[in-house]
Structure 1
Amino acid sequence: MVVFTGKDLSAKEQAQLLAMAKSIVLKDVQSPERLLDETALFLHRVITDLPKEKQAMLERLHGSMEILRGRKVLVVDDDARNIFALTSLLENHDVDVLSTTKGRDAIELIRTTPDISLVLMDIMMPEMDGYETIRHIRSLPEFRTLPILALTAKAMKGDREKCLEAGASDYISKPVNTDQLLSLMRVWLYR
Structure 2
Amino acid sequence: MKILVIDDDPSVRKFIATTLKNENYTVTEAENGEDGLKKFQEERDIGIIITDLLMPDKEGIETIMEIRKVNPSIKILAISGGGKAGPENYLLLADAVGANATLKKPFSGQELIMCLRLLE
TM-score, structure 2 normalization: 0.91
Letter in 2 for 1:165: A
Aligned match of 2:10 in 55, 77, 80?
80
Shift of 1:157: 4.1
Mapped to 2, the partners of 1:82 and 1:156 lie a distance apart of: 16
> Equivalent residue of 1:119, what SS?
strand
Mapped to 2, the partners of 1:129 and 1:107 lie a distance apart of: 11
* Residue aligning to 1:93: 23
Shift of 1:179: 1.4
Mapped to 2, the partners of 1:157 and 1:100 lie a distance apart of: 24
- The alignment status of 1:165 with 2:116, answered yes or no, reads no
* Residue aligning to 2:38: 108
What is the percentage of aligned positions where both structures have the same residue? Answer: 26
Q: Identify, as 1 or 2, the structure richer in strand.
A: 2
Shift of 1:145: 1.0
Unaligned runs of 5+ in 2: none
The size of the alignment, in residue pairs, is 117
1:16-165 alignment runs, 5 A limit: 71-140=1-70, 143-154=71-82, 155-165=86-96
Shift of 1:78: 0.4
Mapped to 1, the partners of 2:2 and 2:77 lie a distance apart of: 14
Mapped to 2, the partners of 1:149 and 1:176 lie a distance apart of: 13
- 1:137 and 1:88, CA in 2 relative to 1: closer, same or farther beyond 3 A? same
Question: Over residues 158-186 of structure 1, what are the superposed CA-to-partner deviations in whole Å (9 max), with x where a residue is unaligned?
Answer: 33320111211110010122212111101
Mapped to 2, the partners of 1:156 and 1:90 lie a distance apart of: 23
TM-score, structure 1 normalization: 0.59
Q: CA RMSD in A?
A: 1.2
Unaligned runs of 5+ in 1: 1-70
* Residue aligning to 1:183: 114
Shift of 1:106: 0.9
